[in-house]
Each structure stands twice: as C-alpha cells, then as structure tokens.
Amino acid sequence: MPVAPKNRVVQSFNQDGETRCVDVFMRPDGTYGFEEYRRELEDGRGWFAIGGYAGQQFVSFDAALHAAAAKVPWLESIIRS
C-alpha cells in the first residue's frame, strides 16, 4: 500500500512556556496551511491540534502566516520578536 504524501512544516512558532505552537506547513500540492497545537507538559502525550485551521488553503507561506496571526491571538507578538 503506497504511503500518502505528508505536509512539510516550513516554520513552527512556540509560545512562551512551550505549551502552544503554530505550525505553518506546505502540502504536497504546493499550497500552504497552518494549525495551532497545545500540549500539557505533565501528561507527556504530545501535541494536539486545537485550532481547526488545517483545512484552509493559501497560495504562499506569507499568506498562511498572515492568516494565522489574525486567528491566533498570541502569535503576532512572537512573529514581531
């Protein structure tokens, strides 16, 4: 059985405390997207998607990043730093 192509994370942005992050990724078809993730450091189960944004498609990294900054309140300050 062939393996489906995977999205490639272009850049990941971590909130202070490393409990939330946003990944901006490129799909195999060349479109871009983003998702917000959360983790609880105490339970060790890893990252969970919480934003519901991964299905949105953008023509460029910059367009995806701009949309992510508009949707994820803490991201703008991370990008500017």
What pLDDT digit, counting tens, does each position of 30-59 carry? 999 999 999 987 777 889 999 999 999 999
Token pair 């105490």 in the structure block, residue: 42
Q: What are phi and psi of 42, to 5 degrees?
A: -70, -30
* Residue 1: predicted pLDDT: 62
Bridge-based pairing state of the strands 48-49 and 8-14: unpaired
- State the pLDDT at residue 23: 97
